[in-house]
Structure 1
Amino acid sequence: MNIFRSLKSRNFRLFFYGQSVSLIGTWMQKTAVCWLVYRLTNSALLLGVVSFVSLIPSLLLSPYAGSYIERHNRYRILVITQIISMIQAGALAMMILFRNYNIPGIILLSLVQGIINAFDVTCRQSMMAEMVEEKDDLPNAIALNSTMANFARIAGPALAGIILSTFGEDFCFLSNFLSYVPVLISLFMMKIVLPPVVKSERSIWMELREGFNYISGDNDLSSLLLMLTASSLFVIPFNTLMPVFAKDLFNGDAKTFSWFESAAGLGSIISAIYMANLKGGKDMVKIMITASLIFALSLILLSYAAWLPLALLFMLLSGIGMMAQTSAINTYIQTHAIPKMRARAISYYIMAYQGMIPLGSLLTGVLAHFVGPRLTVCIAGVTGTVATVVFVSYQRKKLRITNCELRNNREIIA
C-alpha cells in the first residue's frame, strides 16, 4: 500500500509541503521559548504558565470557532490566520533580537498565538476532506498530516538545540518568522473548491448548542472525547517538565532538552507511519486503547529512569503512544461525524485535546513544585492507566447491553 497516496491530490500536496516547513519553525520557537523561560527564571511553575496561556484559548474558543468557520469561507480564514501568525512570530523575534527578555511580553505573545490557533487548527482540520480528491484517502491524509507534524517535532527541537548553542535564541525566533513564507505561497497556489457557505437564519449560539447536542447524543464520539480530555488534562502535560528533566535531573543543557523533544517526536513519527499504512476499516477504538496503555506505562518507567539513554527510550515510547492515541480519535471523528457537523465535531476534538493541555500544564507545574518532577510524571502515568481501564470497562458494558438488546429483539420477532 502506498503510504503517500493522498499526495496525489494537488491541494493536499501543496498544503503538506508548505506546512512541513512552517511546523519545523514553530517547534524551533516552542523549544526556544521553553528553554529561554526556564533559563531566565528556573521556575517549573512559569513553564506551566507559558504552556497554559498558549493553549487555553483552544478550550474557551474552539466550539465557537467551529460554528464560526462553518458560516464563513474556510480558505480565507486559513490565509488570515497564517498572516497573523507570521506577524506574531515577527514581534517575538524582534523582542529577542533586541535582548528585551520580557517574561510578561513572552506570555502575552504566547496568548495571542493561542487565540490564533483556536481558529487555525479547527479550520485546517475541517478542510482536509476538501483537500483530498479521493475520499478513501482521507484517513491516509490525516495520518500523513500527523506524520508531518511529528517529523517537525523531531527536526524542530533538534535544529533548535544546535542553533541555541551555536547562534543563540534570536536566530530560532527569526527562523520561525521566515517559515511562514512557504506556507502562504502554498496557500495562494491552491485551487480549492469549497461547498457554498449557506447563511444561517439561526444565531451562532444556537448552532453551538446543536453541536453539543450532536456530540453528547453519540455515545461513541462522546466517550472518545472524554478519554482524550482525561489524557490531555492529566497525562500529556508531562512534557512541560522536560526542561527540568534535562537541566536539573540529568545536568544537561539546551541540546539535552532538544534530545528529549526529538525522542518523543521520533516515537510519534514511527506511530504516524504505522497509522498511515493502515487499511480502511481498522478498529480505531482498539488502536486507541493499546496506544493509551503504551503511553501511560512509558511515563511510569520514565519517572524512574536514572540513565539518560534509558530516559530517552521511554520518551520515544511515550511519543508512540501519544501519537497513536490522538490520531486514532481524530481519524474516528473525521470519518464518523456527519458532514454538516464535521467542523463542530472537530472543534470539540481540539477543545478536548489542545484546550485541556493548558489546565494540565498549570496543574503539572504546581504539582512538580510541591512533590518534584519525577513523582509528578509517575502520577501522570498512573492516571493514564486508570483512565484507560475505566474506558475499557465502559466499552464492555456497552457491548453487553447491545448484545442483550439484540437477543431480546430476536426473541420478540421469533
Structure 2
Amino acid sequence: MAAAQSAGSRSLLRALKHPNYRLFFGGQGVSLIGTWITRVAQSWLVYRLTGSAAMLGVVGFAGQIPTFLLAPFAGVWVDRLNRYHVLIVTQVAAMLQSFALAGLAISGHIRIWHVLVLGAAQGVINAFDTPARQALLVDLIEDRADLSNAIALNSSMVNGARLIGPSIAGVVIAAVGEGWCFFADGVSYGAVIASLLLMKVNLPARVPTEKKVLQELADGFRYAFGFRPIRAVLLLLALVSLMGMPYTVLMPVIVDKTLHGGPHTLGFLMGATGVGALCGAVYLASRRSILGLGRIIPLTAALFGVGLIGFGASRSMALSLILLVPAGMGFMVQMASSNTILQSVVREDMRGRVMAFYTMAFMGTAPFGSLLAGALAGRIGAPQTVMVGGVACIVGAAVFARVLPDLRRQLRPIYVERGYLPEAVAGVANTTILRDEMDR
C-alpha cells in the first residue's frame, strides 16, 4: 500500500524531476501569492475610493485592455527573441510597478487615476510576460511526456496561490491597509527573479527571418484560426473569460450589498474559488495522458456556468462558499485543459504566437467583460449579472460539445504522429477503438 502511494505521489509530481521546472515552480509559487494579494487589495481599494461597481469595471478594463491589443505582437517577438530573457525583463518591470503602487497607497496619496495608470502599465507587461512564460514552459521540460503534468502542476500552483493570497489579503487589509499588500507583492517578485537567474536553459536557436512583424502576425493568425480544433478551444476560452470571469470584478459589490460582509468575507470567497481550482489542478496532475481532455473542456465550462448561476442566486455566505468551489474547479480545469491541448499540438515555430492568442482569449477578453459587467451590474444588479455570465458559459459549452466529434477527427493525425495514440501507430485502424481511447 505504501509503495503504491509513493508511486502515485511520484506520478503526480513527475514534472518536478526536471531541475529548471523545479526552480520555476518554486519561484512562481511565491510570486503568485503576492499577485493574488494585490488583486484582492486593488479591488477593495477601488471600491473603497469610489463605491462604484462601474468603476470596478473601468479599472479592470484599463488593466487588461493592453494585453488584448499588444499580445498578438508580443507573440511574434516571443517567437523571435530569447523567451528566457523576455521573462526576466517582464518580472523586473512587474516588481517596480507593484512598489510604485505600494508607495502611493502607504503614503496616502493614492488616487483612482493612479490605479488606472499603473494597472494599464501592468497590462502592457502581461502582454509580453504571459506568452513568454507559457512558451518557455515547454523548454523547461526535457521529456515532453511530462508536459501535461507540468501544465497541471502550474495550474495547481496558481490556484494554491489563489487559495492562500486572498486569505492573507483580507487580514492585511483589515490590519494595515491595501498599501502593504502591494508592497508584499513587490517583494514576492524577488523569488521568481532569483529562480530564473539560477536556471540553466538551453533554448533552440532562432532562425533569422526577413518577414515583417505584421506578416508573421498574419501567418500566426492563419495557422491558429485556420485549424478548427485550435480555433474552437480559443473561442470557448474567450467566451468563458468574457462572460464568466468578471464575477471576480463584481465580488466586492456582492460582498458588501448582498452578503453584508467586509474584506475578510471577500478573502474567504476568493479562497473558496481557489479550493475548487486546486482540486481541479490535482485531478489534472493525476492524469497520465492528454487523451480525453477534449470531452473535459465543455463539461467543466458548463460546471463553471452552473456554479456562477448558483452563486448569483445565493443570499447566504455558507451557500456562496460551497457554490464557488465547483465554479473554481470548472474554470481552472477548462483553462488548463485548453492550454495542454494547445501546447501539445502546436508547431514549435508558432508556439509564441499561438500562446499569445491563448493570452488574448484568457486575459485579453477580460477587460471587455469587466466593462460589460460593470455597466450591466449598474442596471440589473451584480448578482443578476453573474447569473447572465453563467448562462453564457453553459451555452458555449453546449456548442463546443456539439462539434467535438469533428474536432476529434482533425486532431487524430497529430495525436498519432506525436505518439499520444501508440495503438494507432502500431496499426490499430478501428475508429471505434480510437474514439474510446480518446475518451478516457
Alignment partner, residue 187 of structure 2: 178
Alignment partner, residue 67 of structure 1: 76
Alignment partner, residue 409 of structure 1: none
Alignment partner, residue 288 of structure 2: 279
**Quick check: 1:243 aligned with 2:252?**
yes
Alignment partner, residue 433 of structure 2: none
Alignment partner, residue 214 of structure 2: 205
> Taking structure 1 as the reference length, what is the TM-score of the superposition?
0.95
**Quick check: 1:329 aligned with 2:320?**
no
Residues 302, 393 of structure 2: 8 Å contact kept: yes
Displacement of 1:394 in angstroms is 2.6
Displacement of 1:52 in angstroms is 1.1
Instruction: Give the RMSD, CA atoms, in angstroms.
Output: 1.8
Alignment partner, residue 387 of structure 1: 396
Aligned-partner Cα distance in 2 for 1:379–1:13 = 40
Alignment partner, residue 129 of structure 1: 138
Cα deviations by residue, 1:339-361 (Å, 9 ceiling, x for unpaired): 11111111111111100011001
Residues 294, 408 of structure 2: 8 Å contact kept: no
| One-letter amino acid of the structure 2 residue matched with residue 96 of structure 1 | A
**Quick check: 1:144 aligned with 2:157?**
no
| One-letter amino acid of the structure 1 residue matched with residue 374 of structure 2 | G
| One-letter amino acid of the structure 2 residue matched with residue 94 of structure 1 | G
**Quick check: 1:111 aligned with 2:111?**
no
| One-letter amino acid of the structure 2 residue matched with residue 4 of structure 1 | L
Residues 143, 276 of structure 1: 8 Å contact kept: yes
Question: Identity of paired residues, percent?
Answer: 39
Alignment partner, residue 156 of structure 1: 165
Aligned residue pairs, count: 405
**159 and 209 in structure 1: CA distance in 2 versus 1, 3 angstrom threshold:** same
| One-letter amino acid of the structure 2 residue matched with residue 227 of structure 1 | L
Alignment partner, residue 341 of structure 1: 350
Residues 12, 132 of structure 1: 8 Å contact kept: yes
Alignment partner, residue 318 of structure 2: 309
Alignment partner, residue 410 of structure 1: none
Aligned-partner Cα distance in 2 for 1:226–1:20 = 29
Alignment partner, residue 376 of structure 1: 385
> Taking structure 2 as the reference length, what is the TM-score of the superposition?
0.89
Residues 305, 390 of structure 2: 8 Å contact kept: yes
Alignment partner, residue 20 of structure 1: 29
Ranges in structure 1 where 5+ consecutive residues have no aligned partner: 407-414
- Corresponding residue SS for 2:200: coil
**98 and 196 in structure 1: CA distance in 2 versus 1, 3 angstrom threshold:** same
Runs in 1 of length 4+ with deviation above 4 angstroms?
396-402
Residues 247, 257 of structure 1: 8 Å contact kept: no
Displacement of 1:281 in angstroms is 3.9
Q: Which moved more, 1:280-289 or 1:266-275?
A: 280-289
Aligned-partner Cα distance in 2 for 1:73–1:232 = 29
Displacement of 1:38 in angstroms is 0.4
Aligned-partner Cα distance in 2 for 1:317–1:398 = 26
Displacement of 1:396 in angstroms is 4.8
Cα deviations by residue, 1:191-221 (Å, 9 ceiling, x for unpaired): 1000112221111111100001111221111
Residues 148, 290 of structure 2: 8 Å contact kept: no
Residues 24, 196 of structure 2: 8 Å contact kept: yes
Cα deviations by residue, 1:126-165 (Å, 9 ceiling, x for unpaired): 0111101111111101111111111111111000011111
Alignment partner, residue 229 of structure 2: 220
**Quick check: 1:295 aligned with 2:304?**
yes
Residues 36, 166 of structure 2: 8 Å contact kept: yes
Alignment partner, residue 360 of structure 1: 369
**162 and 398 in structure 1: CA distance in 2 versus 1, 3 angstrom threshold:** closer
**115 and 400 in structure 1: CA distance in 2 versus 1, 3 angstrom threshold:** closer
Aligned-partner Cα distance in 2 for 1:34–1:148 = 22
Aligned-partner Cα distance in 2 for 1:374–1:252 = 15
**92 and 313 in structure 1: CA distance in 2 versus 1, 3 angstrom threshold:** same
**398 and 287 in structure 1: CA distance in 2 versus 1, 3 angstrom threshold:** closer
